[in-house]
Amino acid sequence: MKKFLLFSTAIVSVWVVSASLVFAQTLAQSEDLQKAESELDASIAELSNEEKSELAKRVETFQKIVLFTRAEIKELSEKLEAVNIGFGDEFWDFYKALAKHLNIAEQTVNDFDLRLIEHDSRLEDIKALASEFKDWREGGYDLKNKALFDLILLDKSSSFIELAEERAGKIDKDLNKFKENFGELGSLQLRVLFARAQLEIGQAGNLHEEAQNLFEENYRELFFPGEQAESGESLNAEEGEGLESEEEDNGTSTPEEKLDDSEAINESEADGESSSNEEGEDLDAELDVSVQILGLVEQVRMRLASGYQFFIDMSELAKQLLSEE
């Protein structure tokens, strides 16, 4: 009995802290990626160095962008490998599509790197190559990365719900096993608290399901254009084919944002302005998807925390009832 009481309290305290940390760390950058971003920032700052030729500055900046993107792909691949798709077999389609997306992205970056070596002697070639790279990132790479982060959040949410359900099952068995120790009234009081905990966990499950549906509704067409939800076979769409431009909102600046700010690599001013206006209209709608998913996942965390609080209340009540014997 004492083991049940102490363990219930300890597991709640650990969960409340770890859940908050896990959700915060989901979008955090690794040291390698932070280093690559720092080097990119330094390279962009060098664009104002008049001692270097424009060609040299652009080549150096583009090299840093490629390096940053390669580090980014490596980190995203590691995050995806850590995902445990236990919240619906249909999400394996997305998992496999995202894995293929990152493989294609890695090949694409390697190709750009080779082309940079071949065409690093002419300024116009570098401008064209950099513009093409920027279009590639904005043409689907960034948006699919956003879907990847949303999938990771759903995975964490699913894991915490599963843990809470397992904990509830063990507590339920303990309540049945030791009900005679608490008396009729005490057992009823514990059961009321347990029912409230189960209700919170159930609400968390409903919110998680809502987030899953939102994910599938908004990303199905991106990864499987023209296909029904059951097929999941069309993984051959090119990374930059007909996709609206998208910027990540994961707490870090993307290379294209840095380039736009510095004007290091850009298309003509007129084209850039018109393209930005068109993309901005679609950005809000697409951004809302990730914001909504993040909001739902946070509600899941709060509901589970509330459920675990009822477990703590049960533990305290059980101690009181036993002390009165």
| pLDDT of amino acid 254 | 55
| pLDDT of amino acid 304 | 96
Q: Which residues of 7-27 are buried (b: 16+ CB within 10 A; e: fewer)?
A: ebbebbeebbeebeeebeebb
pLDDT along the chain (325 residues), means of 10: 45 45 53 64 55 79 91 93 72 91 96 88 88 92 94 91 94 85 86 96 96 93 74 45 42 50 42 46 60 94 95 90 74
Full domain range(s) for residue 237: 2-323
| pLDDT of amino acid 40 | 59
Q: How many angstroms separate the CA atoms of 26 and 253, rounded?
A: 16
Q: How many angstroms separate the CA atoms of 24 and 11, rounded?
A: 20
* Amino acid identity, position 156: K
**Total domains, the chain:** 1
Which residue in the block uniquely carries the two structure tokens 């150096």? 60
**Residue 252: its H or E element:** none
Q: How many angstroms separate the CA atoms of 70 and 109, rounded?
A: 7
Query: Dihedral angle at the C-alpha atoms of 268, 270, 272, 276, nearest 10 degrees?
Result: 180
| pLDDT of amino acid 87 | 55
Q: How many angstroms separate the CA atoms of 63 and 69, rounded?
A: 10
| pLDDT of amino acid 43 | 58
Q: Is 49 helix (H, G, I), strand (E, B) or coil?
A: coil
**Residue 16: its H or E element:** helix 2-25
Q: How many angstroms separate the CA atoms of 70 and 105, rounded?
A: 9
Model's pTM, two decimal places? 0.69
Residues 6+ apart with CB under 8 A from 49: 57
